[in-house]
Structure 1
Amino acid sequence: MGKIEWAMWANEQALAAGLILLTGGIVGVAGQFRDWEFAAYGVAAGVFVCLLEYPRGKRNKGTSVERTGQYCLTVCVKAFGPLTSNYYVRAVLHAAICVPGGFMLPTVLGCVCLAIASIIYLTAAIRGERWMPILPRVETVQRSGGGIEEPPQNPPPRPPAEVRRKRLEDLEGAAYVNPIPVTLNEL
């Protein structure tokens, strides 16, 4: 069986937790709950977590599929260097973010999900995983041969070059001597 990549699970869990925290914060602010300031914090924290977690990291196998439109956020997340690529930092960050949202009912579910994502990130960090960005590859097209100097003379399918008949123009100047001379009288 293959090795589990915990960071991929943590990324999906944290993104979902950010969306749940954002939704709970909106409900808390719009419903004018008591201590709605915690709900406003939930909105800000949910947006921050979603922006941080939206760019998917590269898998060890190399079979990563990037999310639609993640390139801009990948560049931003990559710019912060070890603060965003180290999973120990992410685990502590998510654990710290989820605490204030636990004081209000609409944001509790998002905070619990974020705490679970923090635990999964800690597991990924202990196993030595690290976030690496998925950047588009620049593929260079290498041409075989030097190019086409002269267009083909024969219609397809063409036999290989060794089997083709030589044209008379190509044979001019070639010194070819027939080893068996044949005269008309012998025929």
Structure 2
Amino acid sequence: MDPLRIADYRTRSRAFTVEAHAIFSIHEDARKSRVVEVHASFEALDELSLKQDDLFRQALRCAENGLYRAAHVMAWAAFMDYLEEMLASDGLVQVRALRPAWKGRNIEEMREYVTEHAFVETTQPLGLCTKNQMKALLGLLNKRNECAHPSDFYPGVNETLGYISEVIQRTKQLQAKSL
């Protein structure tokens, strides 16, 4: 078969797949297609580390496989890694000015002493987000905690895809800022 025809078939097949997932994603029980739509949002993120990229991909794989609590945990882990690296981007100068009592010579050591809640609370005074945005981040952290620790909370596909989408959007908002 002609290589140009094969390439044309591949291109058309990919376009068909994208269109099919877009159509099926609006249906409640089309989990795979709905995850593909969230995956497209994820692809729009810029400048993620390999670790952050992998964590977001793991969250999406968990959602594809019905591991909804795990998907919440992995998406939050990706966000926190991004936030912590952002806070450390200036050598922790602004963080130390804001929180001089925090222990740790670098962000890796600080992770041992500082809670995720405390890290998120620094976003507003550092100008990385508004008070309302910070509260929304704390809400996402609370939701992650419900999934990471024993609780009666068992999210479904809708909650999980919404959570991952919101975490991606909040990461995009942070990407627009800098320390």
TM, length-normalised to structure 1: 0.28
Select the structure of larger CA radius of gyration: 1
Structure that is richer in helix per residue: 2
